[in-house]
Amino acid sequence: MEKQRFKDRAFGFFQVFGKSLLPPVAVLAAVGIILGFTAALNNQRVADMLPFMQSDIVAYILLSIRGISFRIFGLIPALFAISIAFGMTKKEKHVAAMAGFIAYYILMFSASVMVSSQFSNFPESDLTTLFGHQTLNLGATGGIIAGLLAAYVHNKYYNLKLPSGISFFGGKRSVPVIAFLFAMVLGQFLPFIWLPINAGINSIGRGISGLGIFGPFVYGTLEKLLLPFGLQHVLINMFRFTALGGSWINSYGEVFEGTLPIVNEMIQEGLATDYMLPYARWMSQGRIPIHLFGLPAAALAIFRTAKPQRRPFLKPLLMAGIFSVTLTGITEPIEFLFLFVAPPLFLFHAVMTGFGFFLMDILDIVIPNIQGGLIDVFVFGILFEGSRWFMLVVPAVIFSPIYYFVFKWYLTKNNVIIAEGAETGVEIDMFGDNDQEGSASTGSGTKRAQTIIAALGGAENIDYVTNCITRLRVDVKDSILVNENQLKATGSIGLKKVSKTHIQVVYGAIVEEVAEEVKDALELEK
């Protein structure tokens, strides 16, 4: 029993941790597109096609936007510190976020004091200049450590009781001060702790890279297999922001670690795509064959194998899912249609995702991006000289027919019903435009929120509600009380019971709206 409880706690920790990484990544994805777009417009090929691009005013605007956009990537550690502290606490989140930034600043400055003390000699390659001082080059890892530290301090001390004479500094006000003290002490020891850890991370990165062309296959398959548990973001961001994804020194001698900082620095310096090839293979370009060709073909197979009377109810669901995956790279609206009713199809899908990474790598296609949708293909592929985006015709002719015929064969052979209950008359709209019932307000939130709360076992069964990009994440007292069919009537397309006390309800693009409705309704019921 104790062992299972430990597993549940560990699993819950990594779930919340993965979710807390998403806000900075979303910002970086958007700004990355702006950076890539302005860099692409600045190349000679575009200037030859559009002569007005050569004017001094246009050049100034593009260079300004490009330079300003690039600055945000220097904030990655601080963004992680704030976001993790905010995301891993349940009360007084604004205090936790402030403590996260304080912890990061003090941690790095304290480490710089030790580095400059001459008590030990630290390799120059492991150092960087930050806040005007030479300190450890932790990259995003420094922000992650600070965020976890602040979250721990906050959850332990936010209700601290102090004697009446100094009670003003108790409770939530104690959190930033205690985080400051912890970070100051940890910073003194961190240089000695971090160097062997960093060497180990580099060894793992070299080991995965040492798999050669099979490395991306293993990475892509594992990433997809982690998706049902909500842990894929942990793996992805380790490659994007730590030495697992590689390290690179720019022309000024600055060291960059992780695929995303490296590639964006290369874009900023105007380097050719050939330089990006070793790092792009660990980004999201391997998903492009799945997003543009595989899952749309799977959706067509699902529609064609459905009974005629069910097709009118499936069509808006599948169309919304196709729009989501091809344009933005968000896959869950389609994946969760077959994940639980046809697990062998999801296993096939995971292997094909690994094959997508493998194929893009051996074809020397370089489309370094975060999401893997059409927007990324246009900005980082079509507009970038040397990307070899035209080679996407190869995965197109491979993935589309394979996905279509495998899905059609399996669904027909096993008589699998996708989105069972879609014909009940509740038209599921992934974007919430047709949710007339859900928009009707009552004294305690919307009817949709009331139905969801009831389906979750009632307000007394709900401990905590939050969400990620596509899922409502709920801590409950007992998951047995959750009614999946009732949740489907509110637009849910899947339910994952992670443990006895944690569930995830998949809503797709409307999840944030749903989460706010449920939170508001729960507040009114208290």
Q: Which residues are catalytic?
A: 468
Strand, coil or helix: 135 = strand
Q: Rounded CA gap, 38 and 69, in Å?
A: 10
Tokens 């051996």 identify what position? Answer: 362
Q: Rounded CA gap, 20 and 85, in Å?
A: 8
Q: Rounded CA gap, 79 and 64, in Å?
A: 23
Report the candidate in 490, 500, 477, 494 with the shortest Cα–Cα distance to residue 521.
490
Question: 250-253, long-range: CB within 8 Å, 24+ apart, which pairs?
Answer: none
Strand, coil or helix: 495 = strand
Structure tokens at 13: 């920790």
Rounded to 10 degrees, the C-alpha dihedral 175/180/185/189 comes to 110
Task: Please check whether residue 115 is in contact with residue 134, taking contact to mean a CB–CB distance below 8 angstroms.
Answer: yes
Task: Please check whether residue 496 is in contact with residue 503, taking contact to mean a CB–CB distance below 8 angstroms.
Answer: yes
Question: Phi first, then psi: what are they for 255, rounded to 5°?
Answer: -95, 130
Structure tokens at 40: 């692409």
Crossing angle of the two packed helices 511-525 and 447-455, in degrees rounded to 10: 80
Mode of pairing for the β-strands spanning 127-130 and 445-446 = unpaired
In whole angstroms, what separates CA 378 from the centre of its chain? 21
Structure tokens at 360: 């893009």
Crossing angle of the two packed helices 140-157 and 76-87, in degrees rounded to 10: 30
Task: List the end-to-end C-alpha distance of the chain, in Å, as a whole number.
Answer: 33
Q: Rounded CA gap, 358 and 229, in Å?
A: 24
Crossing angle of the two packed helices 259-269 and 56-71, in degrees rounded to 10: 160
Structure tokens at 35: 């950076």
Give per-residue burial for 316-343: e unless 16+ CB within 10 Å, then b.
bbbebbbbbbbebbbbbbbbbbbbebbe
Residue 494 parent element (H or E): strand 494-499
Structure tokens at 81: 């510190």
Strand, coil or helix: 127 = strand
Angle (nearest 5°) at CA 345 between 343 and 351: 105
Question: Phi first, then psi: what are they for 475, rounded to 5°?
Answer: -90, 125
Rg (CA), the chain: 25
**Bridge partner list, 418:** none
